[in-house]
Amino acid sequence: MGNVLHRRKAFRGGGLSPSDLSNRIQGFKASIGVFSDAGTTPAVDDDDVQEWHDQSASGDDATKTTSNQPRFETNGINSLDTVDFDHANSERLESTASSSDEIITIIAVVKSDTVSSVRTIYGSSSAGGVQFRADGSTLQWNKQGVAVRASSSGYFSAGASVIIGFTIDSGGNWEIFKNGASEATGSTTPDITAGRTLILGSRDSGNEPWDGFISEFHLYDTDHSSDDVISVMDTLNAEYSIY
């Protein structure tokens, strides 16, 4: 992947879908597989979410583990379905997946309701695992509870929707994307601890919870190319009309 900053934008709306990229180990989309119970009753507007089913081949669904459940909303980003996480309630969904090594790609469609706190889009059940989070307006990739490993500012503003992406390779070379463009690159220590259970909407025990919408979240256990990440982002933008 290297440390070259690519600001090229791919062809709009005619590119790759999230499922087209190889090695997808989790894929969550709010318009598919959101349930108000244990996988039987599809959620309707303003329902509490008990399960959000993984659309990847892995089938690692995200499930409520406390009474603090996010809500399903039909009037989310671009008036489309979303899952709404309330920071004040530490709402989260715990998946059956666990973190592996550092090599990874993340693509997500989110909206943050605030920029006044640390907010986790995707975290781990204990220290040392992966944490993909916002700190104010800054997007960060963390070794959870240990140190920030990658960071770039200017990604979030209160009430604004965004399509974000992140890749890191075996050498620790990382790249951060926003709305169809590569915005930052760098190099870090590739030392994420494997085996931690992964959580949508917070880190361990509901700490540093997300505040806002998560409409899509896609996780891959390989570092996809900049062109492929941008192509998927453009396809998502054709649906969500964010940029």
Reported as a single tens digit per residue, the pLDDT across 28-65 is 999 999 999 999 999 999 999 999 999 999 999 999 98
What pLDDT score does 195 carry?
81
Task: Name the β-bridge partners of 164.
Answer: 108, 178
Instruction: Tell me the backbone φ, ψ of residue 125, rounded to 5 degrees.
Output: -75, -15
Go through the chain and tell me how many residues it has: 243
At residue 149 the predicted structure's pLDDT band, cuts being 50, 70 and 90, is: very high
Q: How far apart are CA 128 and CA 147, in angstroms?
A: 9
What pLDDT score does 100 carry?
62
Mean pLDDT of the chain: 91
C-alpha torsion sign, points 92, 55, 20, 193: positive
- Three-class SS state of 111: strand
Q: What is the mean pLDDT of residues 156-169?
A: 96
Reported as a single tens digit per residue, the pLDDT across 71-128 is 999 999 999 999 999 988 999 999 988 766 678 999 999 999 999 889 999 999 989 9
**% of residues, the chain, pLDDT over 90:** 80
Relative to beta strand 161-168, strand 118-124 is unpaired
Q: Token pair for residue 133?
A: 């989070």
The answer to whether the beta carbons of residues 27 and 224 sit under 8 Å apart is no
At residue 14 the predicted structure's pLDDT band, cuts being 50, 70 and 90, is: low
At residue 192 the predicted structure's pLDDT band, cuts being 50, 70 and 90, is: confident
Q: Token pair for residue 134?
A: 């916002």
- Domains, in order of start, for the chain: 20-240 (2.60.120.200)
- Strands (E) across 86-240 are located at 93-98, 104-112, 118-124, 130-135, 138-143, 147-152, 161-168, 173-178, 181-187, 197-200, 212-220
How far apart, in Å, are the Cα atoms of 208 and each of 50, 121, 145? 20, 9, 11
Residue type, 185: T
User: Is the pLDDT confidence value at 187 over 90?
Assistant: yes
Q: Is 59 exposed, middle or buried (0-12, 13-18, 19+ CB in 10 A)?
A: exposed
- Strands (E) across 38-144 are located at 51-52, 62-63, 71-73, 82-85, 93-98, 104-112, 118-124, 130-135, 138-143
Q: Token pair for residue 89?
A: 């309630």
Q: How far apart are CA 205 and CA 119, in angstroms?
A: 14
At residue 7 the predicted structure's pLDDT band, cuts being 50, 70 and 90, is: very low
Q: How far apart are CA 198 and CA 208, in angstroms?
A: 14
